[in-house]
């Protein structure tokens, strides 16, 4: 209900700002305009969703390396199971997003999208040309690469830990590697996480900057900047 209410009030504000100046199409073209506007909203939302899922993907990779893969928690946003570290970083990312007034930028972008993409935009033609598909493919690949880069420090540390444990098994076979290895990896992972935590805010700000640049690029692909 909360999401429905937020969506209704945002739609009402947008309508009162831009909708009153638009002419209403009374023929079958109205259906095409409606589908077109829905697709634009889905595209913008999907791009934002991809960047927020970077920390979830990175958290999943970290959980597998540390040993938290089985300790999933319920994500209150989606209602599905999510990785422990991924959910923690996701919540931290939301806090940073609100602290830097990212929701203001998103609302501003939503309002300005009607200047970049008026109701007479050429979305269907752009989709047929392949520009939108190419952008989404590259954005998906870039977000996955960013997720790997976010998880890279901890993954490398866990690899070196596994390497050291392997040498330990070869030199001292009497040690139970499972009894020693699992707690050791958890301790090292948590220590590294605490060391990396202060830099997360800077990392998230860079991710948000890339996200807003991607949104601007998407709007530019579909229609281009407004003519002043």
Q: Which domain holds residue 126?
A: 29-223
Mean of pLDDT over the chain: 79
**β-pairing verdict for 81-82 and 73-74:** antiparallel
- Whether 69 maps to a domain, the answer reads yes
Q: Which residues contact 211 (CB under 8 A, 6 or more apart)?
A: 47, 48, 51
- Whether 111 maps to a domain, the answer reads yes
Q: For 125-171, what is each residue's pLDDT tens digit?
A: 777 877 788 888 899 999 989 888 888 888 888 888 888 888 888 88
Q: How many structural domains are present in the chain?
A: 1
- Whether 13 maps to a domain, the answer reads no
- Whether 63 maps to a domain, the answer reads yes
pLDDT computed for residue 19 by the predictor: 64
Rounded to an integer, the average pLDDT of 23-35 is 74
- Whether 5 maps to a domain, the answer reads no
pLDDT band at 227 (very low <50, low <70, confident <90, very high): very low
Residue 106 has pLDDT above 70, yes or no: yes
- Whether 1 maps to a domain, the answer reads no
Q: Give the number of other CB atoms < 10 A from CB of residue 147.
A: 21
């Amino acid at each position: 209900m909360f999401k429905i209410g937020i969506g209704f009030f945002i739609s009402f504000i947008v309508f009162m700002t831009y909708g009153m100046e638009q002419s209403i199409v009374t023929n079958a073209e109205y259906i095409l305009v409606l589908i077109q506007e829905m697709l634009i909203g889905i595209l913008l939302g999907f791009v934002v969703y991809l960047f927020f899922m970077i920390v979830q993907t990175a958290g999943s990779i970290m959980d597998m390396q540390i040993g938290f893969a089985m300790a999933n928690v319920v994500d209150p946003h989606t209602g599905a199971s999510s990785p422990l570290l991924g959910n923690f970083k996701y919540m931290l990312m939301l806090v940073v997003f609100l602290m830097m007034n990212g929701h203001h930028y998103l609302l501003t972008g939503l309002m300005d999208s009607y200047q970049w993409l008026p109701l007479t935009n050429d979305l269907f033609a752009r989709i047929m040309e392949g520009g939108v598909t190419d952008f989404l493919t590259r954005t998906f690949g870039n977000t996955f690469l960013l997720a790997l880069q976010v998880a890279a420090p901890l993954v490398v540390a866990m690899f070196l830990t596994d390497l050291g444990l392997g040498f330990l098994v070869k030199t001292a076979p009497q040690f139970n590697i499972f009894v020693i290895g699992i707690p050791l990896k958890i301790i090292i992972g948590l220590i590294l996480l605490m060391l990396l935590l202060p830099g997360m805010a800077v990392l998230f700000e860079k991710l948000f900057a890339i996200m807003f640049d991607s949104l601007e690029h998407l709007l530019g692909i579909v229609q281009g900047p407004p003519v002043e």
